[in-house]
Structure 1
Amino acid sequence: MAGFSDMSCDGRDVARLILQVQNCSDRVTMDVGSLMEVAYEYIDLIDLCYLQWLAWLFYPLVLTFILPICLLLLLYASAVFLHVYRLRHLLRTAALSRHYWDSARYEVVGFEKIPISGPALLIYYHGTIPIDLYYVMAKMIVHKDRQLRAVGDRFLFKIPGFRLLMDVFCVHPGTVSQGVELMRDGHILAIAPGGVREAYFSDEYYKMLWGKRIGFAKIAIEAKVPVIPMFTQNCNEAFRTPQNRPITYIGDPIPYDPDISPEKLAIKTRVLCSVLILQVQRAIEGLIKTHQRIPGSIFHAQLERLPGFPSGPTQPSEHEVHTD
Structure 2
Amino acid sequence: MAASISDTSWLQNSTLFIHMLKNWTGFEDLGEYASSINPFWILLLPMLLYHSYCFIFLLNCFTSFVLYIYKKKHNISGSIYDPLWEKPRQWIGHFVETFGKIWHGYEVIGMENLPKGPGIIVFYHGAFVLDYILLVARLYAQKGRSLYSVAHRDMFLPGVKLVLDVVGCIVGTKVNCVEILKKGHLLGIAPGGLREGNFSDEYYSLVWGSGTGFAQVALDAKVPIIPMFTQNLREAYRTVGKTRLLKWLYERTKLLVLPLYGGFPVKLRTYIGEPIPYDPNLTAKELAEKAKIAIEDLRNKYQKRPGNILRALSERFYKHHKNN
TM-score normalised to structure 1 length? 0.68
Q: CA deviation at 1:215?
A: 0.9
Q: Do the aligned partners of 1:132 and 1:248 also contact (CA within 8 Å) in 2?
A: yes
Answer yes or no: is the 8 Å Cα contact 2:189–2:214 preserved in 1. yes
Report 1:11-90 matches (<5 A): 61=46, 63-87=48-72
Aligned counterpart in structure 2 of residue 302 of structure 1, from 310, 313, 320 = 313
Root mean square deviation, CA, Å: 3.5
Check conservation: 2:94, 2:141, Cα contact below 8 A: no
What is residue 106 of structure 1 aligned with on the other side?
106
Query: Shift in Å at residue 75 of structure 1?
Result: 2.6
- Structure 1 contact 304–311 (Cα < 8 Å) conserved: no
CA distance in 2, matches of 1:115, 1:309: 25
Alignment match, 1:245: 267
- TM superposition shift of 1:57: 10
The alpha-carbon deviation at position 72 of structure 1 amounts to: 2.2
Give the distance between the partners of 2:159 and 2:47, measured in 1 at CA: 25
Rounded to whole Å, the distance in 2 between the matches of 1:287 and 1:174 is 25
Instruction: Write the distance in 2 (CA, Å) between the matches of 1:199 and 1:81.
Output: 30
Aligned to 1:276: 287
CA contact (8 A) 2:203 2:306 kept: yes
**Partner amino acid, structure 2, of 1:252:** E
Q: Which residue of 1 aligns with 2:136?
A: 137
1:179–1:243: structure 2 CA closer, same or farther, 3 Å change rule?
A: same
More displaced 10-residue stretch of structure 1: 234-243 or 244-253: 234-243
Q: What is the deviation of 1:155?
A: 0.3
Question: Aligned to 1:122, what secondary structure does the other structure show?
Answer: strand
Aligned partners of 1:245 and 1:305 also within 8 Å? yes
Q: Structure 2: which amino acid aligns with 1:199?
A: G
How far, CA to CA, are the matches of 1:142 and 1:241 in structure 2?
23
2:150 is aligned to 151
Choose from 257, 262, 268 the match for 2:279. 257
> Which residue matches 1:171?
169
Unaligned runs of 5+ in 1: 1-41, 261-270, 314-324
Bigger Rg, which one: 1
Contact 1:113/1:253 (8 A) holds in 2: yes
Measure how far apart 1:82 and its partner are.
2.5
Residue 250 of structure 2: aligned partner: none
Q: How many residues align?
A: 254
Deviation for aligned residue 1:304: 1.6
Alpha-carbon distance change, 298 to 309 in structure 1, aligned in 2, over 3 angstroms: farther
Tell me the secondary structure at the aligned position of residue 69 of structure 1.
Answer: helix
Residues 219, 278 of structure 2: 8 Å contact kept: yes
Conserved? CA contact 1:226–1:256, under 8 Å: yes
Change in Cα spacing, 1:87 to 1:172, as seen in structure 2 (3 Å) is same
Structure 1 residue aligned with 2:10: none
- Using the size of structure 2 for normalisation, the TM-score is 0.68
Deviations 1:226-250 (A, max 9, x none): 1000111111211314322311100
C-alpha contact (below 8 Å) 1:233/1:292 kept by paired residues: yes
Aligned to 2:232: 234
Show the counterpart of 1:202. Answer: 200
Task: Classify 1:163/1:58 alpha carbon distance in 2 versus 1 (closer, same or farther; 3 Å).
Answer: closer
Give the structure, 1 or 2, with the largest relative contact order (CA under 8 Å, sep 6 or more). 2
Structure 1: distance between partners of 2:53 and 2:231:
23
Aligned with 2:297 (options 282, 286, 307): 286
3-state SS of 1:305 partner = helix
Partner AA of 1:232 in structure 2:
T
Structure 2 Cα separation of the partners of residues 58 and 178 of structure 1: 38
Identity %: 37
Cα distance, 1:308–1:163 mapped onto 2, change above 3 Å: closer
Q: Is the 8 A contact 2:57 2:160 kept in 1?
A: no
* 8 Å contact kept, 1:140–1:147: yes
Shift of 1:286: 0.7
